[in-house]
Amino acid sequence: MKTYQDKVHLWGRIWMVSALLMMISIPAIISVTLNEWPHLQSFLQGLFTTAIIFWTVTTVEVFTFSPMLGSAGTYLGFTTGNLTNLKVPSALNAMQGLDVKPGSETGDVVSAIAIASSTIITTLIIALGAALLIPLTPLLEAAVLQPAFDNIIPALFGALGVVYIARAWKIAVAPIVAMLLIFLLIPGTTDLVGIMVPVGVVIALISARILYVTNKL
């Protein structure tokens, strides 16, 4: 008999392949309707400069985030995007709220519930925003609100940081020191945060393993 996890992989694959076909069909339908296709050279030039960074980042993200998000959460999160600024924090927030262990089956279902709920609200807000963009523009562009919108990442990761650092501060020391040094000393790293996430994860895993085998955890 198929387990819940087996079924999740079956459903997830069906949804994801459908999403792949849907995403590719959008530019295809537009090109057919307009009778306008990109010239190969321009397309390859644009794709190369984009893919060299984003194929690497998104590939690494799959291997970094999927153990955190669980199976259903990964299928859903990687179809709908906005992972680091929304889906991963949502899953962490929900698992922390219910005190469930990430990576366990309960963690997996709680993560899926959180990512699905988050996706629903985000999709509705974006749709509403698209419909009302003209009246909303003065509000979204209001200078007084810009500091709040510009600082969502610090607002998000300050709170998450406290929770997870308090939970395992010994593991946290090495990656935090390493990341602070890298970001402060190497110019231009703000654009490479996607690449730096797996670097931070590898440092944290090595540090945790050393602490664990030397009985310091």
Could you say which residues in the range 153-192 bind another protein, by CB under 8 A?
A: 153-168, 171-172, 175-176, 178-180, 182-184, 187, 189-190
> 12, 72 in Cβ contact below 8 A?
yes
Reading the block at residue 163, the tokens are 């929770």
Residues 6+ apart with CB under 8 A from 101: 95, 107
Nearer to another protein, 1 or 93 (CB): 93
Q: Rule CB under 8 A: is residue 1 a binding residue for another protein?
A: no
Reading the block at residue 15, the tokens are 């949804």
Q: Dihedral, CA atoms, 159, 164, 165, 171, nearest 10 degrees? A: -150
Out of 22, 135, 214, 215, the only residue in the binding site for another protein (CB under 8 A) is 22
Q: Rule CB under 8 A: is residue 42 a binding residue for another protein?
A: yes
By CB under 8 A, the residues from 80 to 119 that bind another protein are 80-86, 88-90, 92-94, 96-99, 101-106, 109-110, 112-119
Q: Rule CB under 8 A: is residue 210 a binding residue for another protein?
A: no
Reading the block at residue 198, the tokens are 């797996």
Out of 7, 135, 214, 215, the only residue in the binding site for another protein (CB under 8 A) is 7
Reading the block at residue 17, the tokens are 């392949």
